[in-house]
């Protein structure tokens, strides 16, 4: 997890901010006496990394580790100036590989009462407190690419939006538009492990099989839309009903014995609880029609259109057979899915 402030990655010991090639960091470099008594002044690029953070927050933390604060936090060391090791070292601070200090910060995001330092905020390297030997230089890290997205139309991969959706006002639930079961040969618990091969029992034998169809998104990658709890329940009901008709429909007028025989025959050929992947995707998208707008008119028709387009993009190229049922499909069904 990456934590942002004002759309910029927060600098802290657990994250990935870095100072890259802060230049020039001029240090005196051998040879020294007698030819050049203090050494030769050489400009070096200076580097620093979040993992060396110290002097930060004591109570508010990210990943269990301290956060960089205004004017008081620092990297315990920098690198790149090791060769500038003549007696004088830095021309200003008389240091090489000295500390890095944050000298710019957020104007409105604080931790432990002090502003936090972020990606692109200036810092100075090679300190012998409080003066730096190198000029101010921005930190490099991640920007929050989702900043500015419509909070009333959260669409994206499950792992990317589930927390945002749960923390929305009002809170929602991330709905897999195409159910993950359509792609996988095993249970959700097995999918959550991230294993590519799983164990399945068919009758009296146990086999190792691929966990999902080739090219299919993982559970965490599946395209989702944020819905309220009641919206989610209604969509799921429509989706289950429609997919069940696809994979488990029977001719009318069959006797109980005929139904049983037909089901067993279709299990043997792998067509019970499965259907064409294109039809599954289409029915899943159509189930979004069951979403009733909330009192604020969300999700809008445009939002549903975007959700459909996102599914089209993700499922393009996924062909063959998919699963329509909650219960696991037969060995022949698995074979058809993985073909």
The answer on 17 and 107 residing in a single domain is yes
The answer on 197 and 73 residing in a single domain is no
The answer on 131 and 270 residing in a single domain is no
Average pLDDT rounded to a whole number, residues 33-56: 84
Calpha distance 186→175 (Å, rounded): 19
Q: Which long-range contacts (CB under 8 A, 24 or more apart) does 135-139 make?
A: 135/22, 135/24, 136/103, 136/104, 137/19, 137/22, 137/23, 137/46, 139/11, 139/17, 139/18, 139/19
The answer on 209 and 118 residing in a single domain is no
Domain of residue 318, residue span: 156-338
Over the stretch 270-317, which tens digit does the pLDDT of each residue have?
999 999 999 999 999 999 998 999 888 899 999 999 999 999 999 988
The answer on 189 and 79 residing in a single domain is no
At residue 144, does pLDDT exceed 60? no
**Residue 98 within a domain:** yes
Over the stretch 314-328, which tens digit does the pLDDT of each residue have?
998 899 999 999 999
The answer on 209 and 97 residing in a single domain is no
Q: 307 near 177, Cβ under 8 Å?
A: yes
Last residue of a domain, one of 105, 138, 171: 138
pLDDT score for 148: 47
The answer on 183 and 276 residing in a single domain is yes
The answer on 115 and 56 residing in a single domain is yes
Tokens of 215: 């090219």
Torsional sign, CA 156, 157, 161, 162: positive
At residue 11, does pLDDT exceed 60? yes
Calpha distance 84→82 (Å, rounded): 5
The answer on 214 and 105 residing in a single domain is no
pLDDT score for 142: 53
**Residue 151 within a domain:** no
pLDDT score for 143: 47
Average pLDDT rounded to a whole number, residues 202-221: 95
Over the stretch 186-210, which tens digit does the pLDDT of each residue have?
999 999 999 999 999 999 999 999 9
The answer on 129 and 196 residing in a single domain is no
State how many domains the chain has.
Answer: 2
The answer on 332 and 184 residing in a single domain is yes
């Amino acid at each position: 997890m990456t934590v942002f402030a004002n759309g910029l990655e927060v600098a802290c010991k657990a994250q990935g901010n870095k100072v890259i090639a802060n230049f020039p960091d001029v240090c005196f470099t051998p040879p020294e006496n007698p030819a050049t008594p203090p050494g030769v002044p050489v400009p070096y690029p200076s580097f620093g990394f979040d993992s060396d953070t110290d002097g930060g927050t004591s109570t508010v933390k990210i990943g269990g580790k301290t956060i960089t604060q205004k004017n008081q936090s620092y990297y315990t060391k920098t690198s790149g100036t090791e060769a500038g090791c003549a007696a004088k070292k830095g021309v200003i601070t008389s240091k090489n590989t000295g500390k890095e200090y944050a000298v710019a910060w957020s104007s409105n995001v604080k931790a432990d009462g002090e502003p936090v330092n972020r990606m692109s905020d200036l810092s100075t390297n090679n300190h012998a407190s409080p003066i730096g030997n190198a000029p101010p230089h921005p930190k490099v890290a991640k920007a929050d690419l989702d900043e500015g997205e419509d909070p009333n139309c959260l669409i994206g991969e499950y792992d990317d939006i589930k927390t945002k959706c749960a923390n929305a006002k009002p809170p929602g639930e991330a709905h897999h538009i195409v159910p993950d079961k359509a792609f996988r040969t095993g249970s959700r618990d097995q999918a959550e492990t991230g294993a590519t091969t799983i164990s399945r029992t068919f009758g009296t034998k146990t086999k190792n099989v691929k966990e999902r169809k080739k090219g299919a998104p993982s559970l965490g990658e599946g395209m989702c839309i944020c819905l309220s709890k009641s919206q989610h329940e209604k969509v799921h009901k429509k989706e289950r009903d429609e997919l069940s008709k696809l994979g488990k429909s029977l001719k009318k007028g069959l006797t109980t014995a005929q139904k049983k025989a037909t089901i067993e025959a279709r299990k043997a050929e792998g067509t019970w609880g499965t259907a064409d992947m294109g039809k599954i995707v289409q029915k899943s998208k159509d189930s979004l029609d069951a979403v009733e707008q909330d009192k604020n008119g969300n999700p809008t028709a445009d939002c549903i259109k975007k959700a459909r387009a996102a599914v089209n993009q993700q499922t393009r190229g996924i062909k063959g057979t998919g699963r329509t049922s909650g219960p696991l499909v037969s060995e022949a069904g698995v074979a058809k899915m993985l073909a």
